[in-house]
Amino acid sequence: MFDRLRKLVKRSRPFLQTNALSPPTEKPDYVTDPVRILRILKDLQKRHVVLMVRVPGVHRPFVSSLLDIEKTNGLIILDELNPVSGNVLAAERKRLKVEALLRGVMVCFSLMILSIEGENGIALYKASLPDEVYYPQRRKSTRITLHSTINIPFQATMAGEATLFHGRLTNLSLGGLAFFIPFSEALTLGDELRDCKITLPDGEDIQFMFSVRYVKSLPRENKTVIGGCFTAIGYEDYKAIERYLDAFVSDRLGTT
């Protein structure tokens, strides 16, 4: 497999990113200082943040992690993509768009694949350190409470299991959310939820990965409150939540 990947990297032509994810153009939201970029990347590595990796021309994201940073050589090393079908696609395109949620703030940067190496049957990607990183250093994000009149459904599966959880949101922020599930369903602190989806009132679906950080049982109401944070979310979905929060607050304040 690795020989095929290497051949694809060598022969692929430069790719013009036409439909790849692109962050906004406001330069204040970009970090270009190499020292600060290294600090952000090391923070991603230290915190073992899940990376959502997008291959140009492919709609669905893949999952990876930052394994190492070679400051002297100016290289960043990523783990193989999951599902593994992304590895062949990445080798064909030679470019990756990386998205992650760091300390509740979206991080985005692009990478040019320099080489693909194999270790114990796993593909490892070496790429040049990014020249700029989209990282808006915003104040603590607004958290809104959603009353019973606002129905935002939630669904997810437990990592490694087929059980599907259904619930309803009770609050939402850029960094995470809380939702109700029936009392009979069980989630515990530290559980990781995959294939999570909420549907905003305008019908827009938001997908992400989620870590459970808060559990409170309400037996009298026959429900449990589950709270936590996004561990991975695409940039477009992140911005959709941001727009919804801004509109919600503006509506409550009577502004436009």
For the chain, which ranges sit under pLDDT 70? Answer: 1-28, 119-121, 137-141, 253-256
Q: Determine the pLDDT at residue 132.
A: 95
pLDDT reported for residue 3:
53
For the chain, what are the domain ranges? 21-134, 144-253
pLDDT confidence of residue 116: 87
CA distance 209 to 193: 6
What's the confidence (pLDDT) of residue 109?
Answer: 96
Architecture of domain 144-253 in CATH? Answer: Beta Barrel (2.40)
Sequence-distant (≥ 6) Cβ neighbours of residue 71 within 8 angstroms: 38
Q: pTM here?
A: 0.71
pLDDT on residue 119: 66
The pLDDT of residue 122 is 77
**CATH class, 21-134 region:** mainly beta
